[in-house]
Amino acid sequence: MKLLHLKNFPILEQLQIEESLLRCNEDEWCIINEGSPPAIVMGISGKPEALVHTDINTLPIIKRYSGGGTVVVDENTLFVSFICKAVLHCPKKIMEWSANLYKSVFNHPEFSLKAHDYAIGQKKCGGNAQYLRKNRFVHHTTFLWDYNPTYMNYLKMPDKIPDYRQNRSHSDFVCKLTDLIDSKPVFIDRLKAELQTRYTTKLATLEDAKAYLNHEHRKSTRTIHV
């Protein structure tokens, strides 16, 4: 597995790289990105008027190539994406595989998979989205290391919410990893160590990953204007 570690890399560019690796490359990848300039990211079928308070929002809105929900990201968001061969060609099994991996990384008695989220107790600490194609899949996670409450207010309550949310506001529904884990480097080191027990890992450069951007492929990730 190729391991790419980025810092404060724009999420738009990260998603564009992921999409090119998904469609044009056969290697397995883990991409870790510590933060991004602030943005709102929604799934491919998301409708801004239904999900975002567009009258007060000041952030760019990005549609990613995968499905899933809408998130606000900024410099305090931690992104982890897996691009893998489709041995597990079922969303539920991919979620279970990823939750098993992160259970070892978190080493927290209350860590669990709830619906499509990672949670500590009854509070969400990470949201997930996936994309499956014939021979490959992407599973990417947005971890809330910390967050800006003002940005959270830009999001509307979605029509479909997991049962465990129980109509709670964003501030009551989510928790910050900074309150649970000693430091971000500690968490990332744990993740890398766990990957090394499961895969033969090889460090990759940004140039390695960007090599496929100009290959001909479907390009669904984009900034939208409302």
Confidence at residue 88, expressed as pLDDT on a 0 to 100 scale: 66
Q: Give the containing element (helix H, strand E) for 34.
A: strand 29-34
Q: Higher-confidence residue: 76 or 91?
A: 76
Which tokens in the block code for residue 57?
């929002």
Interval 186-211 mean pLDDT: 97
What would the pLDDT profile of 24-82 be if each residue is shown by its tens digit? 999 999 999 999 999 999 999 999 999 999 999 999 999 999 999 999 999 999 999 99
Confidence at residue 55, expressed as pLDDT on a 0 to 100 scale: 95
Whether residue 87 is predicted with pLDDT greater than 80 in this model: the reply is no
SS3 215: coil
Interval 101-125 mean pLDDT: 94
Mean pLDDT (the chain) is 94
Confidence at residue 182, expressed as pLDDT on a 0 to 100 scale: 87
pLDDT band of residue 86 (cuts 50, 70, 90) is confident
Task: Show the DSSP H helices in 84-169 as ranges.
Answer: 91-106, 149-152
Q: How many CB atoms lie under 10 A from the CB of residue 33?
A: 23
Query: Closest by alpha carbon to 9, among 155, 152, 205?
Result: 205
Decide if 116 contacts 128 (C-beta within 8 A): yes
Domains parsed from the chain with CATH numbers:
2-224 (3.30.930.10)
Interval 6-12 mean pLDDT: 98
